[in-house]
Every structure is written in structure tokens, then in C-alpha cells.
Amino acid sequence: MRLTTFTDYNLRVLIYLGTRPAKRATIGEIAAAFAISESHLTKVVHFLGKEGLVETTRGHGGGMRLAMAPQRISVAEVVRRAEGLDVPAECFDRQRNTCAITGVCMLQGALREAVAAFYAVLDRYTLADLVRNRAALAKVLFPAASAH
């Protein structure tokens, strides 16, 4: 299963914020750290805010931070929410399915099992697990701060 860029960016934003959970960050800072578009990140941050994972503050001194402790943020839940009802094959989408063998094909069951296994592994991880190596992440994400 391949994650969408949107999901990838959701995880990157959370990792960035989870590396320094007590500090606020701006979209510009995160975009620069990962060399990605601010406009893409704006959509991601809006989504994370709507999902209750990130708190945002506008204006001078504003920015964003995690809305809860990293150990409370499930990696699998972030992926499920960001991916939505994305399905691994056409036969999972009843409205758009045009496959002639859907009723007799065994692939759908195998794919359903594979997706369940994928999420079962991700269910074992939280954001806290992803940022356990905070010092190493900080050296890459915040090089100016590491130089002091």
C-alpha cells in the first residue's frame, strides 16, 4: 500500500511538532525543514486542526503545536483519517467498480487481509514512538538550534 503525499505530509508535520512539543512552529518553518510547498502544508495543517491533532494560533507569536501528548496520537489513526476511504483496488468501490470478475475473484479477500495487516502494524505505534530519537531529529530539522 502506498500512502498519498497528503498522508505523508500529515505525518511529517506531526513528527516536526512532536520533536519539540513545547514549542510552536509555523507552516513556513516546517515547509523549509522538509523543502515542501507552504500551500500544500496549509491544507495539511487545516486538516490536522479539524481532526483535533494540532492547535493553531493566528497572529503575532502564533503558529501551531500538538493538541495532545505524542503518546496519544496513533499513527494508524492519522493514516486512516488522512487516507479516507481510499481502497486498494477498484473492486472495493461499489459505485465505480467495472471489473467483470468481482463476484468470483479471490483477490479482494487477499487485499482486504493485507490492508488489515498494514493497519494492525501501524496500530502498535504512536507519534511518541516516531520521535523517540528527538536529538537526532532535532539536528536535521533544527540545524541552527543544534549549532549553539
Q: CA-CA distance, 65 to 43, in Å (whole number)?
A: 16
Q: CA-CA distance, 118 to 63, in Å (whole number)?
A: 33
pTM of the model: 0.88
Q: Which residue bears the cell 500538538?
A: 66
Look at 139 and 143; give whichever has higher pLDDT.
139
pLDDT by residue (tens digit) across 88-136? Answer: 777 777 788 888 888 888 888 888 899 899 999 999 999 999 999 999 9
The pLDDT value recorded for residue 147 is 58
Q: Tell me: pLDDT of 148 over 70.
A: no
pLDDT by residue (tens digit) across 9-61? Answer: 999 999 999 999 989 999 999 999 999 999 999 999 999 999 999 999 988 88
| 126: phi then psi, degrees, rounded to nearest 5 | -120, 175
Residue 130 makes CB contacts below 8 A (sequence gap 6+) with 11, 14, 15, 18, 70, 75
